[in-house]
Amino acid sequence: MLFRFKYIIIMMLISASIHNATGSPSEAGYQFLLLNVSAGPLGMGEAYVAVSHDANACLYNPAGLTELKIAGAALSYKNAFNLMNATVLHATGAVAVSSKFAFGFDFQFNKLGARYCTSESGYMTDQKNLTGNYAVGISAARKLNQYLAFGVTARFIRSELNLSHKDYTSRNMNFDFALMLRRLFSGATIAGRNPEYSEILPLIRHRLPPGLSIGLCITNMGPAISYSGSLMKDPQPQTFRLGCAFTVFDTDALGLIAALDAEKLLAGRDDSGNPIAFYKALGSAWTDRSFIYELREMTYHLGIEATLFYFSAFRFGLIYDEIGRYKTFTFGLGLGSETVRINVAFLPGTLDSDYAPRDMEWYVSFSSAF
């Protein structure tokens, strides 16, 4: 259900603040925080919580920043999604202060172009919705030992909405908390490198550590959202993400990673329609229905990345959302060394749904990690 929530409702409204302004109920606000356009993770079906080892970790799992040796950066831009004129820009950067500490930042921006409304009879009115959403995050990560690391992100948010020629503004903040376990069962990874390349490999190589990685990240924990001129409040799109990734091969010729993530929205309202406090939703979101239904309600992400000779990466993914009826394959390609790479991703469309704004969409991004 979460994937449909992210990629259908988001692309229809971009911000749930529209519900705030009109007084209609919504499940969560600031939905743009759930929309990612980075081609690298998208090519792997967004199975990236345990894979995160570059600047994209700021958005998926800040604990992964501890794998950077020097620094990293990523830039993603997407304009004109299907069915609407929307612009999304993501920029991230990170630097390793020492072998145990790393800091990063992320900047997110999206803007929905003019949306002219029509009456039930089909006549166009002069009513329009213009949204501008901004978020700036500061991340810090620390490696506790060779296996365990944790990370936190503090994010400052500003959202603007123009509805029926009236302006609404919201300012807020939230936090992410993340854990990462690395190098479990590292002996199971098939490894083999030519010692003659030992000097040049650090310049072109930045792969996931060998063995099994397990990542956990709870994002967007913060106070309820309110807009100026509106009495209604919405919960933030708090999300639970749990993932595992395994490095199957790590040789000069081939690097192969397989990853699986599970994702669940932890936002809700009480019987009076008021947002549940984020710290209470951590537990209540798992108990309002049967445990089996809660598992079915989660969105599952499966991803594979094969790196050949350090200069190309081929990605394949599957996104499976049973309750939201969204199931799609994803494809990705990375060109360049493992430290500096241009990434492309393609989402061909849903397998069992007639409507999805991201059908037949291409994504391009740049990433680097040293």
Q: CB within 8 A of 122, min separation 6: which ones?
A: none
User: Given a cut of 60, is residue 18 above it in pLDDT?
Assistant: no
Looking at residue 156, its pLDDT comes to 97
Torsion angle of the four alpha carbons 38, 324, 236, 275, in this order, in degrees rounded to the nearest 10: 180
Higher pLDDT, 314 or 118: 314
Tens of pLDDT, residue by residue over 210-229, are 999 999 999 999 999 988 87
Burial of 74 (C-beta count, 10 Å sphere; 0-12/13-18/19+) = buried
Residue whose token pair is 């590292």: 186
122 has pLDDT over 80: no
pLDDT at position 161 is: 78
Range list of H helices, 1-114: 2-4, 10-13, 17-22, 39-43, 57-60
Whether 2 shows a pLDDT value over 80: the answer reads no
Helix or strand run (H / E) with residue 22: helix 17-22
Main-chain dihedrals φ then ψ at residue 231, nearest 5 degrees:
-90, -15
Residue 39 lies in a domain: yes
pLDDT at 191: 82
- With cut-offs at 50, 70 and 90, classify the pLDDT of residue 202: low
- Mean of all residue pLDDT scores within the chain: 82
| Residue 121 located in a structural domain | no
In a domain, 317, yes or no: yes
Confidence of residue 273 (pLDDT cuts 50, 70, 90): confident
* Least-confidence region, from 226-230, 245-249, 278-282: 226-230
Tell me which residue range forms the domain holding 312: 2-116+128-369
User: Is the model's pLDDT at 112 over the cut of 80?
Assistant: no
Give the type of residue at 120. Answer: E
Name the least confident of 90-94, 110-114, 248-252, 333-337: 110-114
Give CA–CA dist 112/59, Å, rounded: 21
3-state secondary structure of 251: strand
Query: Mean of the pLDDT values across residues 108-133?
Result: 61
Mean pLDDT, rounded, for 235-240: 94
Give backbone dihedrals phi and psi of 123, rounded to 5 degrees, phi first. -80, 135
**pLDDT over threshold 60, residue 21:** no
Is the distance from CB of 164 to CB of 74 less than 8 angstroms? no
Measured distance CA(65)–CA(337) in Å, rounded: 19
pLDDT at position 313: 93
Of the candidates 179, 244, 255, the residue with the CA atom closest to the CA atom of residue 218: 179
- pLDDT (0 to 100) of residue 360: 76
User: Could you tell me the CA-to-CA distances from 61 to 141, 179, 301 in Å, in that order?
Assistant: 10, 8, 15
Per residue in 29-82, pLDDT (tens digit) is: 788 888 888 999 999 999 999 999 999 999 999 999 999 988 999 999 887 665
- Band of pLDDT at residue 164, cut at 50, 70 and 90: low
pLDDT of residue 129: 56
Higher pLDDT, 106 or 4: 106
Sign of the CA dihedral running 289, 292, 295, 297: negative
Residues 94-110: what's their mean pLDDT? Answer: 94
Whether 165 has a pLDDT exceeding 90, the answer reads: no
Residues present in the chain in total: 370
At residue 94, the pLDDT reads 96
Any idea what the CATH number is for the domain that residue 360 is in?
Answer: 2.40.160.40
How many Å apart are CA 175 and CA 297, to the nearest integer? Answer: 24
What is the distance, to the nearest Å, from the Cα of residue 219 to the centroid of all Cα atoms in its chain? 10
Residue type, position 190, single letter = I
Sole residue written with tokens 């000069």: 252
pLDDT band for position 16 (50/70/90)? very low
Whether 336 is covered by a domain: the verdict is yes
Q: Which of 49, 15, 4, 3 minimizes the C-alpha distance to 213?
A: 49
Is residue 106 pLDDT above 50, yes or no?
yes
Least confident of 63-77, 87-101, 109-123, 271-285: 109-123
Say how many domains are in the chain: 1
Q: Is 123 domain-assigned? A: no
Residue 122 lies in a domain: no
Give the three-state DSSP class for 158.
strand
* Segment holding 193, helix H or strand E: none
